[in-house]
Amino acid sequence: MDIIALFTIDSTISKLVMALALGAFIGLRREIDMQREGSRSFVGFRTMPLIVMIGAVSTMIPAIPFLPLICLIGVLVFLSIAYFNGVFGLQLVGLTSEFATLIMFLVGVMVGSGQFVVAIFLTVIVGILTGFKSELHAFAQNISPKEWGGALQLIILSAIVLPFLPREPVDPWGVLVPFDIWLLVIFISGIGFVGYFLNKYIDAKKGLMLTSFLGSIVSSTAVTTALAIQAKKNTRAPKNIFVIALLVSVCTMLVRTIIAIVVIAPQTLRISLYVPLAMLVMAVLLLGWYIWHNKNQDGGVEITQELDSPFELLPALKFGALFIVVLLAVAFGKKYLGDYGVLITAFLSSLVDVDATVLSSIQTFRADGIGQMLAVQAITIAIIVNTFVKVGYVWFLSRHDVAKTNTVTVGLISLVGFIVFLFL
């Protein structure tokens, strides 16, 4: 029993082993780079683990409470000597190695203090910044001032404006939360921002698909908006590529809903929902496959990046305004329609979001508030309506040719869902 206690996560031995491992991880990469480049450095596979372990051990001697500070001063003196030797002796310019070593000493202190998650996170960051030196420099060389400015705008709106917005409703109906609405605006702009760089550094078509998939894990509605904006900006891009990306968004939303049902829905409700959801997924996949194999009708035109800036706030603000109108419409509908039933509520709430209807229907069913068939119908209506309402977003924000094709595809998907709904 005592032997097992020696290796618990908070034990001294475990902390020393973790400090050794984290230091060796960074030191090994430094050693690989030195051997590959034929260069020299004051830290490598042996020295870095020792520095991290010094940081950890300095926290383990209660009799000397200021030992971490004393060791930090010693490390700073050592780094200063190494820096001046590199500048004047070896004609090397830069502080990356010195700062990386300093951070790794602090990683050791965090390990000794029990802050394992932060220590591991910092180690990963140091590993990325020191291990991908050439890739990071190449990335920096390809960044334009406009692109950097776009990133600055996104940071300002996210880190400076967002925290000061009210997190409580500011309207009499309790539906308009400035923080949530602005967060949606930032998310839409962020999707477009990420998509810009995916299209720049990856094949443009693959970048669109990846943007659609990753963004739809969080919000397929926001992704639909971002794709519609990008399609309007890229006037020479083939329409079918954007339509396929929109279908990827719908498919991801459906799969995300299936996963939520598998995780939290009772067994009886799962079985009833598998068939309609599976049929909708099959309809999306078949349509996507058909459009993909007939995309040559676009004349083989490649997607070109026509955005002046990777950050586009005005289209996101337009969607935010539309989102507010929908929220108010839902609030008024619920107030004046009264208790017409779960289906009306599902219809109204799905104008904004699918997840809320899905989760609330499952929870109400589990509490015996509604029957199984009614829960299935509510979830099916929410998915169909939310899928079709995105057609309006595309018409409002995108090109007409993309909107027309998207209307046909989404209409077919909704028709399949409606037919399934009739037989439930």
Q: How many CB atoms neighbour CB 65 within 10 A?
A: 9
Give the lowest-confidence range in 3-7, 108-112, 236-240. 3-7
Is 60 exceeded by the pLDDT of residue 333? no
Give the per-residue pLDDT at 381. Answer: 78
Q: For residues 64 and 298, which has the higher predicted lDDT (pLDDT)?
A: 64
Residue 189 CA, chain-centre distance (Å), reads: 13
| pTM higher than 0.85 | no
pLDDT category at 6 given cuts 50, 70, 90 is: very low
Q: Which residues contact 239 (CB under 8 A, 6 or more apart)?
A: 231, 298, 399, 401, 402, 405
Residue 52 CA, chain-centre distance (Å), reads: 32
Question: What is the torsional sign of CA 217, 219, 222, 228?
Answer: positive
Determine the Cα–Cα distance for residues 21 and 34; give it in Å rounded to an integer: 20
Q: Which two tokens stand for residue 176?
A: 């308009």
Q: What average pLDDT score do residues 283-292 get?
A: 80
Q: Which residues contact 292 (CB under 8 A, 6 or more apart)?
A: 240, 244
- Which residue, 381, 389, 386, 383, is CA-closest to 422? 381
- Which residue, 321, 328, 320, is CA-closest to 175? 328
At which residue do the structure tokens 């020696």 appear? 6
Domain boundaries, the chain: 2-139, 144-422
At which residue do the structure tokens 């042996």 appear? 46
In one letter, which amino acid is 368? D
Q: For residues 2 and 147, which has the higher predicted lDDT (pLDDT)?
A: 147
DSSP state of 164: G
Give the lowest-confidence range in 193-202, 224-233, 270-279. 193-202
pLDDT in tens, 165-196: 888 888 777 767 888 778 777 776 776 676 66
pLDDT in tens, 33-57: 777 766 666 677 888 899 999 999 9
Q: Write down the mean pLDDT value for the chain.
A: 75
Give the per-residue pLDDT at 178. Answer: 84
